[in-house]
Chains A and B, each alone.
Chain A
Amino acid sequence: MSIKYSDSGFLDGADSTKKLSFDVSGVTTGTTRTITMPDANVDLSSVGTPDDNSVTLAKMAGGTDGNLITYDASGDPAYVTTGTSGQVLTSGGTGVAPTFQTAAAGGADTSLSNLTATGENKVAQAWVNFNGTGTVAIRDSYNVSSITDNVTGNYTINFTNSIATNSCPVGSARSPSWYIVTVSPFIAGTTSCGVWCTGNGDNLFDPTQVAVAFFGD
């Protein structure tokens, strides 16, 4: 590569019609501007094109707080205008920039985690599964602190936390020999409930499986 110098700038060594000139007409009169060379080769063809992953947020142009960046129909960067508080970003589909819009009204939150607000009467206030034979033993329970073994086939379920009056008890039981038995729970109060287990002939007896649940407000 050869370069020639002339009053009009730099000329290509082989083709003098190829020139490089400097235009300093914009420099203030009496002022010297300096081009500083780094200690490395410089390829001016890449000037103005940042490296991948090199543009930081600070290098981006400022904008309006709340605006989002999208692309317009020409594929150029564009802003999604900030919506009002509470609006949600809604897609406009292919070829349409998204917009902030007011969300559609939803239905009541009836999830289990929201039962306090929407009605705890949908789930049992208390339940227990116990063995009524031998030494009466509670297999598992919820909101039950103890069971009183009164006499044969007669038990009292004591609640940990009081439940509402007029609750609805539901019970079932089976005997060791799979006879059909009837559990007759009757609410004695908000802190406990009596349970009778009867078999053939309305005789009270002790089932191996007794399960009772209580529903109410």
Chain B
Amino acid sequence: MKIIYNNNDTLAQLIPSPKFLDTLTGTDEEKLIHIANKDLPTGTPYEITDADLSDRTFRNAWEYVAGSNELTSADLSADDLVKYNMTENK
């Protein structure tokens, strides 16, 4: 699974690192929500999807269209900010 969101009017895919996923607990979706909160700017709408996006024809023209499962990235907890050596969310 991956995270897709709008980035400068094109579709961006956030691909999690397998090693980082191994350090997280919870379901696959919970892990991706954690990564979205960590690596996306706070307040970014996104979706978690397992759609096949391997055909990169016209890659630069891809657009993100909000679906029914859209989520919004949130702030990390204070403990997570310390753990990741981050002073604030992106």
Contact = CB atoms under 8 A, between A and B. Distances in A.
Interface string B1-35: 01100011010111111111000000000000001
Contacts of A130: 15
Contact of A133 (B8, B18, B38, B56): B56
Contacts of B8: 150
B73 to A, nearest CB: 12
A130 B8 CA distance: 23
Contacts, number: 88
A70 interface: no
Interface string A138-152: 101110111111111
Interface of B: prevailing SS: mixed
A133 B16 CA distance: 16
A138 B59 CA distance: 19
Task: Label chain A's interface by main secondary structure.
Answer: strand
Contacts of B60: 151-152
A158 B59 contact: no
Interface string B29-54: 00000010011000000000000111
Chain B interface size, under 10 / 10 to 19 / 20 to 34 / 35 or more: 20 to 34
Contacts of A206: 56, 59
Contacts of B68: none
A151 B9 CA distance: 11
Contacts of B84: 160-162, 191
A150 B6 CA distance: 9
Contact of B12 (A141, A150, A191): A150
Contact of A137 (B3, B14, B15, B35): B15
A199 to B, nearest CB: 15
B66 interface: no
Interface in A120-157: 128, 130, 133-138, 140-142, 144-152
List of 10 A-B pairs having minimum Cβ-Cβ separation, nearest first: A134-B54, A158-B39, A149-B13, A162-B85, A145-B20, A135-B54, A151-B60, A152-B59, A161-B85, A146-B16
